[in-house]
Amino acid sequence: MGKPTGFLEYQRRDRSYEPVDERLKHYREFVRPLSEDELRRQGGRCMDCGTPYCHTGCPVNNLIPDWNELIYREDPRTALAVLHRTNNFPDVTGRICPAPCEASCTLNLIEDPVTIKTIEHAIVERGWAEGWVEPVVASRRTGKRAAVIGSGPAGLACAQQLARAGHDVAVFERNARIGGLLRYGIPDFKLEKSVIDRRIAQMRAEGVEFHPNSNIGVTRPVGDLMARFDAVVFAIGSEVPRDLPVPGRELAGIHFAMDFLAQQNRRVGGEKLAAPDILATGKHVLVIGGGDTGSDCIGTSNRHGAKSVTQIEILSMPPEHEDKLLTWPDWPMKLRTSSSQEEGIKRDWSVSTKMFTGKDGHVTGLSSARVEWRTSNDGRPLMEEVPDSDFEIKADLVLLAMGFVHPVKQGAVAETGLALDARGNLKADTENYRGSVDKVFCCGDARRGQSLVVWAIREGRQCARAVDEYLTGSSDLPR
Amino acid sequence: MQARQGLYDPRYEHDACGVGFIANIKNRKSHAILAQGIEILHNLAHRGAVSADPLAGDGAGILIQLPDRLFRSEAERLGFSLPEPGAYGVGMVFLPRSAETRRACEAVIAHFVAAEGQTLLGWRDVPVDPSVLGDSIRPNAPVIRQCFIARGANCVDADALERKLFVIRKQAHKELRARGLPDSGNFYIASLSTRTIIYKGMVICERLAAFYKDLEDERAESALALVHARFSTNTFPSWELAHPFRYLAHNGEINTLRGNINWMMARRHSMTSKLLGADLDKLWPLIGDGNSDSATLDNCLELLVAGGYPLPHALMMMVPEAWSENPLMDPDRRAFYEYHAALMEPWDGPAALAFTDGRQIGATLDRNGLRPARFFVTDDDHVVMASEAGVLDVPEERIVRKWRLEPGKMLLIDLERQRIIDDDELKAEIATAKPYQQWLDQTQIKIESLPDEIAPMAPPRAVLLDRQQAFGYTQEDISFFLKPIALSGEDTVGSMGRDTPLAVLSSRPKLLFDYFQQRFAQVTNPPIDSIRESLVMSLVSLVGPRPNLLDLETGGKHIRLELHKPILTNVDLEKIRRIEDNTGGTFRTSTISICYPAADGARGMRAALDAICTNAEQAVRGGHNIIVLSDRLVAPNRIAIPALLAVAAVHHHLIRGGLRTEVGLVVETGEARQLHDFCLLAGYGAEAINPYLAFDTLSALRHEFDKELSEAEAHEAYIKAIAKGVLKVMSKMGICTFQSYCGAQIFDAIGLGADFLDRYFTGTVSAIGGVGLDEIADETMRRHRLAFGDAPNYRDALDPGGDFAFRVHGEAHAWNADTVSLLQHAVRGNNYRKFKEYTRLVGEQEKALISLRGLLDFDYPADPVLLAEVEPAREIVKRFATGAMSFGSISWEAHTTLAIAMNRIGGRSNTGEGGEDPQRYKPLPNGDSMRSAIKQVASGRFGVNIEYLVNATDLQIKMAQGAKPGEGGQLPGHKVDDWIARTRYSVPGVGLISPPPHHDIYSIEDLAQLIHDLKNANREARVSVKLVSELGVGTIAAGVCKAYADHVTISGHEGGTGASPLSSIHHAGEPWEVGLAETHQTLVLNGLRGRIAVQVDGGIRSGREVVIGALLGADEFGVATAALIAAGCVMMRKCHLNTCPVGVATQDPELRRRFNGTPEDVVTLFMFLAEEVRELMAKLGFRNFDEMIGRTDKLKQRTDVDHPKARHIDLARILHRPDVPAGTKMHQCETQDHRLGRALDHQLIAACRPAIEKGEMVVVDLPIRNVNRTVGAMLSSEIARRYGDRGLADGTIRARFVGTAGQSFGAFLARGVTFEIEGAANDYVGKGLSGGRLIVYPPHASKIERDKAIIVGNTVLYGAIAGECYFSGVAGERFAVRNSGAVAVVEGAGAHCCEYMTGGIVVVLGETGTNFAAGMSGGIAFVLDESGKFPQRCNLAMVDLEPLADQDEHIETLEHRGGDLEMHGLVDVVHSLTQSDAKLLHGLVARHAGFTQSPKAKTILANWERYRARFVKVMPIEYRRALLQIQARTRAAERPEVSVAVGAAE
């Protein structure tokens, strides 16, 4: 809370970015932190709400008012402890979370929300800088063994919690390095990989074993794990991308976003590339899909030196300002511009792709049409094409960033015979995270479908508690 | 009396009433005295009550000396002869109607008479006329007979016979109660004495003498007559509970009853009596359980008298004056009280007690003077005392003294010594009869006098954290309690309501403390203002054995230890532990650990408790006289039993063994930290408490504080706050002394099982049953495991708690982010689908057990009705009201939004306690109206003038508020801006205090009077009384109905607030389900339900809850928090900080701009609610709402609950349907007869027509009597309806009365009306005075000096707003209490004069009582201080005393004050005077002389210069500052060029 009248006295101030022409020259993070004084004032804006909407607005239920207060009272060390109480990786969320907490902040109803994410980031970075972040080594070992398949945010959070509860945990990752989506999906300019590495170091100290290059169900049978471990957690992500099955889809130069992004991350990380280069350098890039992955494609393309970058979205353009009385504290549909979009982009909405056009087997553009959206009688959105609205967009690199439909079923899932829900995700509930097969647990995007990193962390933590209960009969791990 | 059924329980019945006596000082017996007694009773009739049957009174009675002449001749007629007076006794016996049982009763009496060695002479049928009884009474009336008993050889004198008769009576009662013969409940011996006899019964006052023929028999003669008219809240009064009792008649209530009964029981083994000898044992049980408080009081008094105490001495022990904080008290008297404090804990509560043993008659008043008692003495040796003046017509010239009983004072007429003995003489005589100071010196040790000790050091952090967790500390204990308390020394305040589950419904482990709710006073007795009236409060606690109650001679050998407060520092505790070494072994302390091996688990707790009780008993028997119960040894392998459980178990174990008064009980516990915890420990028997862990926590926290605090300072601040808080909790129940609070068990349990309570908390009740020891032990075990376990979240932090604000891993809240936002989205988008989503969520919360109603399900019938056939929503919404929130607690925008919305739908909004800006009475151009239909009348009476009252649809008397029942409030000066000040008729910048009690309601008949006043002021309005749910509220509601209220509100403890102590928000009151069901059942049981509308409120959020409310018996519904949320509230819980970010609960203009509510949104909420109600009605098969009310058969308790605690709850008592005849009304469908027809105002209005209609001058002359109540209010309402607050031109109406006016004379008197009385007036003169003028002077024939005679009663000018008064004589207590603008001159005043005054001028030309100007924040008083004692009598907390300015300073003063006086709208009289104090005062005295012909005023004027110097001016500090600010602002506005200089000067 800091200061009861802080919100009346201080304006919201947030971190700034390096200028665009500077930051486009490299793949490093480009956020400039607030000064400590300013940060303290920003913490003082928190109103210590009797009903803190941010608490439930945040998927991991971060104790936001508590650490705002501690920052205002200049007690960063306790703030760090409180922050870690609900979140294993605030250094990740402090960088890449869209911050639903800020949308739900009570101050957002009447003016600008508290800079929650900035404060979170500052607390944890201060903690690393001061050496306050330490491994939490379990005081007793249970002797139980748990395997976690997948080292994305859900898998890592789950593994860390289980290790802290005293279990022997092994994490299996099919890629060469640990981190899953964090390492391969998110560009370095948003999340430098050293952030993951230091967490891996921490987890190693806590007793977690990591097994990269282990594609369970492919390079190593699941049965092997099932035999050797007391519990097996599937945190395999939701990796099957949504495709755009229109004429011309087979043309060269049309790629799924993740192929493009992962390759760039490997390149920055000095890994050997298995596939041919996908580079935007000197190209007209078209990004289909208006979400975060789309933005990452834009930022990467601009850094490659694309001639132009265009982004289209099938939905209509959202309003610039939401009607807060009807949306707060929920996440509102409104026009947002990401830092990558700021770096140079043409955006268009209500565009439907009818076919890709190409020359010599390589894409050159696409034919598209305008659509209109209306609401059906039962409240569902309906799309209609606007007659005679066809138009062409020029492109020689098309990146499909339209989301992910469900986890990969070949391999581990198929081998285990796990049941799926109607959407093709692994079936398990949020009470006990149990898969349909004994001793199997499922969490993260693989269970809930594609979502935010912060949701993945929540699922990993809760799943760990469920596993702990399963293994020992009860659990002291927080829900 | 009705038996207990459903939630109705006769233990909660209360009574109050009128009491009076007449006596001939010379002990001359005559029939005339008796006849005059009967006449007094007639004139007190309006203080009694009648129930549904107009001839069925609540009881009336008369006590007289034995009419020897009558009995002697009657005996002769019956064939036996009486010995000489004094050698025989007469019993007045109520016998069962069944002849067989009757014979058995008579035989039992005969048996005991013989067994005790006396002679039964014979029986007489008492001649009665049953035809005068009410139809409902006659069939069950007892057979009444008198028995005559002659002295036996074993009695030497009349006193000995009197004692034997007592022993006979006790044994006969006990024997017959034990036999349980059919109909033996009717057996009762009203009196059995050689000196007095009582005629009483269920008769209305006017018919008593017609019923008992003896009373009209000329042969019946007595020198005294003591009479009583009863008003019982209790709907089923009985013959035996009518007063008088054997020694006394009582007007008031004993609040500490449970504790008093327990303590009496506890001393059985320590009591011996020289006089009673072996007979003492035959008297047990001394107190029959189930008796009324008055009867119990009488039982105790009787024992003390039989044990040899003189009657007044006994009363001084039982109802002592306030001595501990009174520095002015004579040392002997002080020693007397201090000595007796160890013998007997005070019987505390409002009380006017009239008592007699036939040889002496007298009266005494409680320490705070909470009941009225006026008396006069005639020149022919008669004394008349009564609850009000004017009860007996006596020629004025015969009266030689007219006075009132003052707080704690006694009046005694000794008929044998044939003289009046006044308080000073009487008490001096008693106080010096024995060497009390010497006895004290021998037996008393004060803790300060013990040698210093060294306390243990606080543990290291890790151990501290484990201990905190073992005792259930949460982060909120630190952030909401310990930290702010240590910094401020005050208990902490919060806002909005409690929306968390009851402890028994919570899935989190709760402390045992959380299962108890504090009880509080409402209606039948007043809460006390422990801050402003601190002089009556005392926290003195005595630890150690009590002396033999009946030892009058030796002073005892028991040593006792005195503490000034019951909270012990660690050093204090060490002193007590080591006391044996320092007192030569007189004290021996035994520390008993209340921890047991963790290995025994939860199931081990029962045996551990038993062992502790046994250890305690052995310690006592082994000669220890202090026991310290300690949980300091808690450790990973030692579980601490909840301290409260251990204390209560030991306390009751020792009581049962009769050992409790042999030993002091101290608790050393880590569990106690919040105020509520301390109250409970004390309430269940701990005489002192050491919260060592709270101290350790503070010691550790100290380093985080912004300000420098030493360890001792932090501990001290905490003790101070808790001590102050304990006083406040005691005062909520009207209890003044810790000694009588200790063990008084002023708590309701919620969710504890009967077996558990009966065993460990004997006498405490839970309406819904609940968990037992196993579940409590499980919770303790869970805490213990977490504390000493390895859970990551508890490794370095406490549990978040989440009770006071939502926390995600904390306690559940009904209002959370989801429910608030869904509701807002639904109403803003006018989206019923979303609303259903919201109510689905509310339903899920209910299912998860957030409140009791979650345990209920509907029992749907097979035949629903069509939705279309159900009463339309637009009709249902008329049953809705929003909550009472003042303009001041919420913003203008929020307040008017609610008002407009409710007016649009025909519902009602509520002004709250803040007055209403008159601009809101005029409709807006678009047809909307901002007028709040419900006008609240609360204890501060802000803005309650006649214009306000006539602009009401409902007038709501707020007796209590769900969030802080029994407490007052305070609006700090910085929140009183110009606008709020205008609306409340106060001064900007000056703080406003709402006292805890209404100072015109100390009992049920007072409430009836206020209802009568309000009904007179607005005949069209419904008068409503707002109560808060607690056990017994149904009985109070029945009383409220009998007091002619049209409407009653039952508020649940979930109700919201702008600012309340957190302990009250969370720990006082019961859920509305309990209170509502009890109210409905009690009203139905006695046929009153049809006469009164019942409203329920407190946390109603959905249509389902409305329907449950209706099925449990509500006609109407208050919805406050949900309505505020619809208007934009987001449950910030920051109302008390003025920082509400959405402009709802703030006055900050910047924040008010952010208010985004609309009337449309609020209307939508109510329409949606009604729509959902309709859907449920259709499913339940109801077409009309009325059909649904009270249909608990449509509800059932859920059977699918597998919650470990909640499954023990039993809601059968809530769902009980009273067994009543078919056709009994189940909902409000009749109207009350307010008996306004007899009002004198009808004559006044008729005579004043030309004035009212044309503004012509009118003069009226009328006689007046005490039965003419509230004269002038109805007349004023006629004026206010036409002319508003402006009224008529000054002097338009002049009414002159001769006689004694009844209560509330000149209430709300409008501008332009002058009332003048030659005679006197009773209580509440000029209540809410609205511009009129009142003049009262004694009859010209009177011989008494006016400044020595009482002229007006208590609580005069309460809440007066404007007008002027001249009273030529002395006023009673609390003159000009909460006056906000009237000018008054009086020639003397009682205690608490000018209390809470905020404006106006009071001139006292004589002596005042103590505590002058307590809580006075505004206005000015001038007091003529001839004796120089005034400064000692003035409470200087908020005022300065200054001499009147010299003439030379006049110019300066004139400059300063001129504008101010004008600004306050003071009456013209002030305006026209020159504005110096001296001239102002001179002018007022001159007017006083002119209007009243006061000799004193004339003397002063004639010797002005001499007298001027003796006047003291009383100036409130805050008021002066505010006036200077206003003046500076005004000047700055007038002369902007100097504004900088003025600003700089400030």
What ipTM does this complex have? 0.94
pLDDT of residue A390: 94
Please tell me the distance from the alpha carbon of residue B287 to that of residue B261, in angstroms, as a whole number: 7
**Residue of A56, A110, A477 with shortest CB distance to B1141:** A110
CB of A5 less than 8 A from some CB of B: yes
- Residue B1198 pairs in a beta bridge with none
Per-residue pLDDT tens over the stretch B743-752: 999 999 999 9
Residues of chain A with CATH 3.50.50.60: 145-239+405-472, 243-402
CB of B782 less than 8 A from some CB of A: no
B1515: DSSP letter: E
For residue B813, the chain A residues in CB contact (below 8 A) are 51
CB B790 within 8 A of CB A39: no
CB of B824 less than 8 A from some CB of A: yes
Minimal Cα distance from A104: which residue of B? B817
- With an 8 Å Cβ cutoff, are B1132 and A51 in contact? yes
Would you state the structure tokens that stand for residue B535, as one six-digit string? 């002089």
Please tell me the distance from the alpha carbon of residue B1342 to that of residue B27, in angstroms, as a whole number: 26
Per-residue pLDDT tens over the stretch B209-261: 999 999 999 999 999 999 998 877 655 658 888 889 999 999 888 888 888 88
Structure-model confidence comparison of residues A302 and B289, the more confident one: A302
pLDDT of residue B1474: 38
Residues of chain A with CATH 1.10.1060.10: 6-130
pLDDT of residue B722: 96
**Residue of A7, A85, A329 with shortest CB distance to B797:** A85
The residue type of A372 is E
**Residue of B797, B818, B1132 with shortest CB distance to A49:** B1132
CB B1496 within 8 A of CB B1489: no
- With an 8 Å Cβ cutoff, are B808 and A61 in contact? yes
Averaged pLDDT, B431-454: 92
pLDDT of residue B991: 86
**Among B1007, B982, B964, B967, residue whose Cα is nearest residue B914:** B982
- With an 8 Å Cβ cutoff, are A51 and B818 in contact? no
Coil/strand/helix, residue B568: coil
CB of A336 less than 8 A from some CB of B: no
- The helix or strand, by DSSP H or E, that contains position B713, with its residue range, turns out to be helix B711-732
Would you state the structure tokens that stand for residue B178, as one six-digit string? 């034990």
- With an 8 Å Cβ cutoff, are B807 and A47 in contact? no
Please tell me the distance from the alpha carbon of residue A442 to that of residue A425, in angstroms, as a whole number: 10
In the CATH hierarchy, which top-level class contains the domain A243-402? alpha beta
Averaged pLDDT, B405-433: 95
- Residue B24 pairs in a beta bridge with B382
Integer angstrom CA distances of residue B862 from B484, B871, B1244, B1539: 58, 20, 61, 79
Q: Is the pLDDT of residue B1458 over 60?
A: no
- With an 8 Å Cβ cutoff, are B792 and A106 in contact? no
The shortest C-alpha distance from B1474 to chain A (Å) reads: 46
Phi, psi of B1290 (to 5 degrees): -55, 135
**Residue of B786, B789, B806 with shortest CB distance to A51:** B806
Pairing of strands B626-630, B595-597: unpaired
- The helix or strand, by DSSP H or E, that contains position A382, with its residue range, turns out to be strand A381-385
Please tell me the distance from the alpha carbon of residue B385 to that of residue B374, in angstroms, as a whole number: 6
Per-residue pLDDT tens over the stretch B567-589: 999 999 999 999 988 888 888 99
Would you state the structure tokens that stand for residue B442, as one six-digit string? 């021998």
B1445: DSSP letter: P
Instruction: Please report which confidence band the pLDDT of residue B1546 belongs to, taking 50, 70 and 90 as the band edges.
Output: very low
pLDDT per residue of chain A (479 residues) written in tens, 0 to 9: 568 889 999 999 999 999 999 999 999 999 999 999 999 999 999 999 999 999 889 999 999 999 999 999 999 999 999 999 999 999 999 999 999 999 999 999 999 999 999 999 999 999 999 999 999 999 899 999 999 999 999 999 999 999 999 999 999 999 999 999 999 999 999 999 999 999 999 999 999 999 999 999 999 999 999 999 999 999 999 999 999 999 999 999 999 999 999 999 999 999 999 889 999 999 999 999 999 999 999 999 999 999 999 999 999 999 999 999 999 999 999 999 999 999 999 999 999 999 999 999 999 999 999 999 998 887 788 999 999 999 999 999 999 999 999 999 999 999 999 999 999 999 999 999 999 999 999 999 999 999 999 999 999 999 999 999 999 999 989 87
Q: Is the pLDDT of residue B1463 over 60?
A: no
- Residue B232 pairs in a beta bridge with B15
Fold for domain A6-130? Fumarate Reductase Iron-sulfur Protein; Chain B, domain 2 (1.10.1060)
Coil/strand/helix, residue A32: strand
Averaged pLDDT, B1467-1480: 54
Instruction: Please report which confidence band the pLDDT of residue B1535 belongs to, taking 50, 70 and 90 as the band edges.
Output: low
The shortest C-alpha distance from B817 to chain A (Å) reads: 5
A250: DSSP letter: T
Specify which of B253-267, B972-986, B1354-1368 reaches the highest per-range mean pLDDT: B1354-1368
Per-residue pLDDT tens over the stretch B1192-1201: 999 999 999 9
pLDDT of residue B269: 77
Q: What is the largest CA-CA distance in chain B?
A: 104
Per-residue pLDDT tens over the stretch B1480-1498: 899 999 999 999 999 999 9
CB of B461 less than 8 A from some CB of A: no
pLDDT of residue B52: 62
Burial of B230 (0-12, 13-18, 19+ CB in 10 A): buried
CB B1368 within 8 A of CB B1488: yes
Q: Which residues of A117-144 are buried (b: 16+ CB within 10 A; e: fewer)?
A: bbbbbbbbbbbeeeeebebbebeeebeb
Structure-model confidence comparison of residues B324 and B1101, the more confident one: B1101
Share of chain B above pLDDT 70, in %: 96
CB B535 within 8 A of CB B324: no
**Among B1453, B1506, B1498, B1499, residue whose Cα is nearest residue B1480:** B1453
**Residue of B793, B828, B1131 with shortest CB distance to A50:** B1131
Integer angstrom CA distances of residue B1310 from B984, B1279, B1287, B1301: 18, 7, 6, 18
CB of B740 less than 8 A from some CB of A: no
Per-residue pLDDT tens over the stretch B1382-1413: 999 999 999 999 999 999 999 999 999 999 99
Per-residue pLDDT tens over the stretch B1258-1269: 999 999 999 999
- With an 8 Å Cβ cutoff, are B805 and A49 in contact? yes
CB of A83 less than 8 A from some CB of B: no
Please tell me the distance from the alpha carbon of residue B576 to that of residue B566, in angstroms, as a whole number: 13
Would you state the structure tokens that stand for residue B133, as one six-digit string? 């009884």
Please tell me the distance from the alpha carbon of residue B826 to that of residue A262, in angstroms, as a whole number: 44
Burial of B1121 (0-12, 13-18, 19+ CB in 10 A): buried
Put simply, whether the predicted model's pTM sits higher than 0.90 gets the answer yes
For residue A106, the chain B residues in CB contact (below 8 A) are 1130, 1132, 1141
* Mean pLDDT over the full length of chain B: 91
CATH code matching the domain that covers A145-239+405-472, chosen among 3.40.50.300, 3.40.190.10, 3.50.50.60, 1.10.10.1100: 3.50.50.60
Please tell me the distance from the alpha carbon of residue B1270 to that of residue B1303, in angstroms, as a whole number: 6
Q: Is the pLDDT of residue B1253 over 50?
A: yes
Pairing of strands A362-375, A381-385: antiparallel
Q: Which residues contact B1371 (CB under 8 A, 6 or more apart)?
A: B1350, B1351, B1352, B1353, B1356, B1386, B1388, B1389, B1390, B1393
For residue B1138, the chain A residues in CB contact (below 8 A) are none
Torsion of CA B1187, B1190, B1192, B1195, to 10 degrees: 60
Q: Which residues of B421-444 are buried (b: 16+ CB within 10 A; e: fewer)?
A: bebeebbeebbeebebbebbeebb
Best of B808, B837, B1060 to disrupt the A interface by mutation (most A CBs within 10 Å)? B808
Q: Where are the alpha helices (DSSP H) in B147-283?
A: 158-179, 208-211, 213-216, 257-266, 279-282
**Residue of B789, B794, B1141 with shortest CB distance to A7:** B1141
Please tell me the distance from the alpha carbon of residue B1346 to that of residue B1495, in angstroms, as a whole number: 8
- With an 8 Å Cβ cutoff, are A47 and B1141 in contact? yes
The residue type of B560 is R
Integer angstrom CA distances of residue A3 from A65, A71, B608, B1141: 11, 11, 49, 14
Q: Count the Cβ atoms, other than its own, within 10 Å of residue B708.
A: 7
- With an 8 Å Cβ cutoff, are A51 and B1137 in contact? no
The set of catalytic residues of B is 17
For residue B1137, the chain A residues in CB contact (below 8 A) are 4
- With an 8 Å Cβ cutoff, are A5 and B1142 in contact? no
CA angle B329, B332, B338 (to 5 degrees): 80
Per-residue pLDDT tens over the stretch B1376-1385: 999 999 999 9
- Round to the nearest angstrom and report the end-to-end CA distance of chain B: 68
pLDDT of residue B1155: 96
CB A195 within 8 A of CB A91: yes
Q: Is the pLDDT of residue B1454 over 50?
A: no
Averaged pLDDT, B621-634: 95
Per-residue pLDDT tens over the stretch B316-366: 999 999 888 787 889 999 999 999 998 998 998 888 999 999 999 999 999
pLDDT of residue B1450: 47
Residue B259 CA, chain-centre distance (Å), reads 17
Minimal Cα distance from B1148: which residue of A? A8
Burial of B1255 (0-12, 13-18, 19+ CB in 10 A): middle
CB of B1223 less than 8 A from some CB of A: no
Q: Is the pLDDT of residue B525 over 80?
A: yes
Integer angstrom CA distances of residue A477 from A233, B1156, B1423, B1505: 17, 42, 71, 84
Instruction: Please report which confidence band the pLDDT of residue B497 belongs to, taking 50, 70 and 90 as the band edges.
Output: confident
Q: Which residues contact B495 (CB under 8 A, 6 or more apart)?
A: A50, B1056, B1057, B1058, B1059, B1060, B1133, B1134, B1135, B1136, B1145
Phi-psi region of B1262 (alpha: psi -120 to 50; beta: other; left: phi over 0): beta
The shortest C-alpha distance from B630 to chain A (Å) reads: 30
- With an 8 Å Cβ cutoff, are A325 and B828 in contact? yes
